[in-house]
Copies of this chain bind each other. A is one copy, B any other.
């Protein structure tokens, strides 16, 4: 029944081999408590011979502190997700913590996974997929764990949420189009109810409305290159009087597909200006040269790290003093990367 139990050495085996008490073996490895240097060395050698090292589970249990952080993630098929996870894993590594991953096949699973994560008594949880329900957030925080939500709300006033300033990105895109004198504006949006893409679209629409312009919004369930290509087809089928002359795609994948769909039919940015979001590697490739927004991943990670470090030092919340616009939500400015598809009308 017990899988392996037999055969695995314990600190007692090492103690026997080094002819010391089991407690000394522990001290040799933790570095806590006095121990003669020579004894320590003898123990280390014995451990090596036996092939033993401390059982991290047992250590975590007895110290009441597991060096773990739970990370909720999902399919990595969108480039941006992989970038985020990669950067996150690196940060966690640098904390000398271990990421325990919870993979959500769909957003609906996220709540169950958060519950499961609680069982591991980790230092905290980082959510990069799905939605954090309010009572789940409370359960996590009440147990003294930190809660960080990336590009989504934490739904708790002691939770922490870092996001790209999506509305600002949308507004900047609109402003750029208006400065270029574009007339008919279109947004390639995400699924209904999605958080980040909706905020981008709303920021865009709002700025356009303030300038007296109307905006069409086409929602897309997948936000893939295929979806972008489909939108291009839809645009080409429109009566020419209704064809937009400026398009804001709420992610790069759609923008790239859109460009491919228009290739040979329209000139960019002559007929249609285009701005994307994410600054995927492909955005700068020769056939695209897409004007887009870079998400401030490094800044987001810095903020996240600062929050978690603050948490572990049990500092009082400094957030009130700092007067964030929206408590618990840190917005980091996206950076406009101007390439050929918009914003360069003054250059040849």
Contacts and interface: CB of A to CB of B under 8 A. Distances in A.
Contacts of A3: 64-65, 123, 144, 312
B83 A77 contact: yes
Contact of A85 (B76, B93, B121): B76
A310 interface: no
A95 to B, nearest CB: 11
Contacts of A192: none
A306 interface: no
Given A83-B77, A285-B260, A89 B101 contact: yes
A4 B65 contact: yes
Contacts of A105: 90, 93
Interface string A47-78: 00001011111101101111010000101110
A8 to B, nearest CB: 6
A109 B225 CA distance: 37
Given A53-B119, A119-B53, A287-B287, A64 B260 contact: no
A260 B286 contact: yes
B60 A225 contact: no
A23 interface: no
Interface residues of A, number: 62
Interface string A1-45: 011110110000000000000000000000000000000000000
A110 to B, nearest CB: 13
Interface in A70-107: 73, 75-77, 79, 81-83, 85-86, 89-90, 92-93, 98-103, 105
Contact of A86 (B63, B77, B119, B142): B77
Q: DSSP majority for the A interface? A: mixed
Interface in A216-259: 225, 256
Contacts of A5: 64-65
Given A61-B61, A90-B105, A8 B100 contact: no
A133 interface: no
Contacts of A51: 139, 142-143
Nearest to A312: B3
B75 A2 contact: no
Given A89-B103, A105-B90, A144-B7, A285 B225 contact: yes
Interface string A276-288: 0000011001111
A6 to B, nearest CB: 9
A302 interface: no
Contact of A102 (B98, B118, B263, B281): B98
A174 B100 CA distance: 43
Nearest to A54: B119
A76 B288 CA distance: 23
A262 B31 CA distance: 60
A68 B2 CA distance: 15
Nearest to A260: B286
Given A8-B143, A82-B86, A98-B102, 9 more contacts: A4-B143, A7-B144, A8-B121, A51-B139, A54-B119, A55-B119, A81-B82, A89-B101, A100-B101
Closest 7 CB pairs of A and B: A287-B287, A82-B82, A5-B64, A76-B86, A89-B103, A260-B286, A56-B119
